[in-house]
Structure 1
Amino acid sequence: RDRFEKLGVTNVVWVWTVSGYLGNAEVMKQLYPGDDYVDWIGMDQYNYYLCHKSPNWLDFDRSQRPSHDWLRENISADKPVMLSEFSTAPDPERPERQRDWYAAIPEVAPTLPKVKAYVHWNRAVPGPGCDLTVDQGPALEGYRIAGQDPYFQQPLPRR
């Protein structure tokens, strides 16, 4: 950031993000460079159900809110938040769960008012049951439902 400022670059927004497991909260706090260097804060969180031996299904709220609340309480209560990566693994026994996970995003989003950016992770990660892509079936259906919600049909900010 210092280098950019020396060069006179002013059209950059600096996002501090961690791919976080809250069991590493103390380490994540130590990595934060400070408010003078960060414009936005973010964390990557997933519902890894059955992927990486994760035994519990977490709906969108339960997969995102703990990291959101931790960021607000431990890093910054004021900076805008980015859900810098989010996604859900499928439930092979109940495929509709993936649809419902995405379709619930517009219900949860207004309860996280400082979240100003949502970035969906759309790739498989290594491991069985870890295909996080949304390109067909119930997942795509839920993603479309969420994207059509009026909450996400807002005007873009002026440049």
Structure 2
Amino acid sequence: MVRLTVPRVTVALLSALLLAYAFAIAPMNGAGERPDPSRALVAEATAAPSPAVSPPAAVFPPAGKTFVGVATKEGPHDFTPVDAFTAAARHQPQVMLFGSGWATDTFDPALFEGISDRGMLPMLAWEPWDYRLDEEAREKGTERHKIDKLRSNQPDYRLSHITRGDFDRYLRSWAEGIKALGHPVAIRFAHEMNGNWYPWCEMANGNQPGDYVEAWRHVHDLFEAAGATNVIWVWSPNARWSNSTPDLAGLYPGDDYVDWVGLSGYYGMGAFSKYRTFDAIFAETIKEIRTFTGKPLVITETAASDMVGRKAEWITETFRSLPRHADIIGLIWFEVNKERDWRIVSSPAVTKAFAEGVADQRYRFTWSPDLIPRTELGD
């Protein structure tokens, strides 16, 4: 005995309707004949199903969220400081920034995979210079202004030498390696270019106006040609510290060459030795940047010292300020004891202030390799 189920009843009703249409409603064909109802039934049964609508890809960071990442002296060579930061902050960093110098470092996939496996987007601070000159001068106790002059004078790493192809073989080795990783990698190439303390700054090392943009575009185009399209390009000047700072528009490679705009700025050192709030340090430069690009903004390096005993206060105020900046999608804390102790583990009060600030739901989400980087504020 045949049981009538909902599908069987539906098919029977459809068949009856089609037969009625064929004999009573449908017009005759050109030969004076009515269409064959069996063909109509076959066509209905074999018609291709409507394609499923895929949900939109998830982006990083999600709308209304801000990631909080970390940078350490050891980088992915030793995750002990990252573990200490994570425990103190009671927060899993979504991004990890680490540096690499062209004179000594070759591409090592293990460094990137080590970061990714811990649930963090790798961000490479890629530096065209020999950083050993800087380290040797520090070990000798050389005065800071002399260190800046020493390390910024490296003619082999002049920007024009990058553009003319002196480093192309080296660049391709990294492009091919990053492409093979299969997950996003952020590259902060030649940061703080508006200063005078690195050999890639236009105010140092015999560089000329326009050289920085040409070098950036050369590096970017070489990666594109190699098929390394999984790179998030991060252009990252230093926060304006005086009226003598060059205009940033002339150093910007253009929206076609940049995905995120970064900024470095610290409280408790140099021009910012006296107490200055987060907005006092960054707002003027952000306003200038917004005159020539609307790309998402990341504070790629920041921290505070306790030289006047207001480090915890500065941290609390910073986390209160961030939600007012809808265009800031991320902040990376410089968890290093260098020149000053910038770490959040420097005192119980500082640790408490940071943990309370980052506990807000705005900063609570995770990174995974399948997320699509947010490269436009409207994404």
TM-score bracket, normalised by the shorter chain, equals 0.7 to 0.9
Tell me what 2:139 maps to: none
Q: State the AA in 2 paired with 1:87.
A: A
1:88-125: per-residue Cα shift (whole Å, max 9, x none)? 11144xx3x21121122332111110111111112233
Structure 1 residue ranges without an equivalent (≥5): none
Matched-pair contact (CA < 8 Å) for 2:235–2:258? yes
Matched-pair contact (CA < 8 Å) for 1:45–1:67? no
Matched-pair contact (CA < 8 Å) for 1:46–1:64? no
Tell me what 1:80 maps to: 296
CA pair 57-149 structure 1, distance change in 2 beyond 3 A: same
- TM norm structure 2: 0.36
- TM norm structure 1: 0.80
CA apart distance, 1:55: 4.8
Q: Aligned to 1:13, what secondary structure does the other structure show?
A: strand
Tell me what 1:109 maps to: 322
CA pair 44-53 structure 1, distance change in 2 beyond 3 A: closer
Tell me what 2:311 maps to: 98
**Are residue 69 (structure 1) and residue 287 (structure 2) matched?**
yes
Distance, in Å, in 2 between the alignment partners of 1:86 and 1:101 is: 11
Distance, in Å, in 2 between the alignment partners of 1:53 and 1:12 is: 33
Q: State the AA in 1 paired with 2:285.
A: S
CA apart distance, 1:44: 0.2
CA apart distance, 1:58: 0.9
Q: State the AA in 1 paired with 2:325.
A: L
**Alignment counterpart, residue 352 of structure 2, candidates 129, 141, 152:** 141
Tell me what 2:254 maps to: 34
Distance, in Å, in 1 between the alignment partners of 2:281 and 2:241 is: 12
Tell me what 1:152 maps to: 363
Q: State the AA in 1 paired with 2:330.
A: A
Distance, in Å, in 2 between the alignment partners of 1:41 and 1:61 is: 17
Distance, in Å, in 2 between the alignment partners of 1:99 and 1:22 is: 23
For the aligned residue pairs, the C-alpha RMSD in angstroms reads 2.2
Distance, in Å, in 2 between the alignment partners of 1:124 and 1:27 is: 31
Distance, in Å, in 2 between the alignment partners of 1:154 and 1:100 is: 25
Paired residues, number: 149
Distance, in Å, in 1 between the alignment partners of 2:228 and 2:271 is: 45
**Are residue 118 (structure 1) and residue 331 (structure 2) matched?**
yes
CA pair 53-125 structure 1, distance change in 2 beyond 3 A: farther
Tell me what 2:274 maps to: 56
CA apart distance, 1:42: 1.3
Tell me what 1:11 maps to: 230
Q: State the AA in 2 paired with 1:84.
A: T
Distance, in Å, in 2 between the alignment partners of 1:154 and 1:13 is: 20
CA apart distance, 1:20: 3.4
Matched-pair contact (CA < 8 Å) for 2:233–2:257? yes
Distance, in Å, in 1 between the alignment partners of 2:229 and 2:272 is: 42
Matched-pair contact (CA < 8 Å) for 2:249–2:289? no
Distance, in Å, in 2 between the alignment partners of 1:122 and 1:90 is: 14
1:51-105: per-residue Cα shift (whole Å, max 9, x none)? 33745201223223222222223x41x200010111111144xx3x211211223
CA apart distance, 1:32: 1.5
Distance, in Å, in 1 between the alignment partners of 2:241 and 2:223 is: 31
Structure 2 residue ranges without an equivalent (≥5): 1-219, 373-379
CA apart distance, 1:35: 1.6
Matched-pair contact (CA < 8 Å) for 1:98–1:142? no
Identity over the aligned pairs, expressed in percent?
22
